Amino acid sequence: MIQKINDERLKRKNLENTRILFIVQTAGIIGILGYELVTKGMDEMTGNPLWFLLILTGIVSAYLSMSISVDHESDEKSPKKGLLISLAASSVIAIGFGAAVTLTADLNTGILVGAIVFICFIVPYFYLYYLRRKQED
Amino acid sequence: MKNNVKIARVQMDMTQAQLAEQTGVTRQTISLIEKGKYNPTLKLCLAICDAVHKSLDELFWIDKEERTDDTKNK
């Protein structure tokens, strides 16, 4: 029968083992995708579900790293000021993207692309804002 | 890190297995703590203190000089 591990040392060891497993798995996924890229080309590689898994893992990893980065920030930044600057920068980039797309496609597509770019930028910025606010408490 | 867990355990006439059972860890963990090869969390330190009826100071306090020597030896 499997028993729940209560020993803190073994729990830690388990986590360390999981880290090794993660490295092996990631190396495997990159290897498989690399092989697909070389033998079948870029489209086949991005069509593979493993590609989606790799991207998803990358996004989750980036979000998890953000909390570490916020804790590591040496100077106390004002969360609100940071968010406002980020929002302004995101707006400029989104408008730029939207305008560039409008030149080659129609206005609706331009607005859609601009909105998507804007959302993609502001979600992590709001998360950073939330983390910095939490850190202030 | 060096500690007095082994002395306190022997004084209480306990085996490593008994101490392990009381503190909810494995015997190997107790063995590693006694050898100074594993640094337990404060929670486990307190559980050990309760089991051997000693204070945290008595079991785990080390003078600053000794601590520095310990780090240099590693």
Please tell me the distance from the alpha carbon of residue A30 to that of residue B38, in angstroms, as a whole number.
36
User: Mind listing the pLDDT tens digit for each residue in B27-59?
Assistant: 999 999 999 999 999 999 999 999 999 999 999
Q: For residues A68 and A26, state if they share a domain.
A: yes
In chain B, what residues touch A7 (CB-CB under 8 Å)? 24-26, 29
ipTM for the predicted complex: 0.81
Average pLDDT over residues B9-22: 95
Domain ends where: A72, A97, A115?
A: A72
* H-type alpha helices, A73-106: 79-104
SS3 sequence of B26-55? CHHHHHHHHHCCCCCCHHHHHHHHHHHCCC
Q: Can you count the helices (H) and strands (E) in chain B?
A: 6, 0
| pLDDT score recorded for residue B4 | 93
Q: For residues A55 and A18, state if they share a domain.
A: yes
Q: Report the percentage of chain B scoring pLDDT > 70.
A: 91
Contact B25, B44 (CB under 8 A): yes
A48: closest CA among B69, A84, B35, A40?
A40
Contact B30, B20 (CB under 8 A): yes
With a CB cutoff of 8 Å and minimum separation 6, the contacts of A67 are A131
Domain ends where: A72, A88, A117?
A: A72
Predicted TM-score (pTM) of the model is 0.72
Count structural domains, chain A. 2
Q: CB B44 to CB A8 under 8 A?
A: yes
Note down the domain range covering A108. 74-137
Q: For residues A95 and A136, state if they share a domain.
A: yes
Quote the minimal CA–CA distance from B25 to chain A in Å: 4
Please tell me the distance from the alpha carbon of residue A85 to that of residue A93, in angstroms, as a whole number.
12
Tokens standing for residue A72: 């590591």
Quote the minimal CA–CA distance from A7 to chain B in Å: 4
| pLDDT score recorded for residue A56 | 95
Q: For residues A68 and A87, state if they share a domain.
A: no
- Which residue ranges form the domains of chain B, and what is each CATH number? 5-73 (1.10.260.40)
In chain A, what residues touch B43 (CB-CB under 8 Å)? 8
Q: For residues A64 and A82, state if they share a domain.
A: no
Q: For residues A53 and A116, state if they share a domain.
A: no
Q: For residues A130 and A95, state if they share a domain.
A: yes
Residue of chain A nearest B45, judged by CA positions: A8
Quote the minimal CA–CA distance from A4 to chain B in Å: 11
Which range has the worst mean pLDDT, A41-45, A54-58, B14-18, B60-64?
B60-64
| pLDDT score recorded for residue A38 | 95
* Residue-level pLDDT, tens digit, chain A, 137 residues: 677 888 999 999 999 999 999 999 999 999 999 999 999 999 999 999 999 999 999 999 999 999 898 888 877 778 888 889 989 999 999 999 899 998 888 888 999 999 999 999 999 999 999 988 888 77
Average pLDDT over residues B12-25: 95
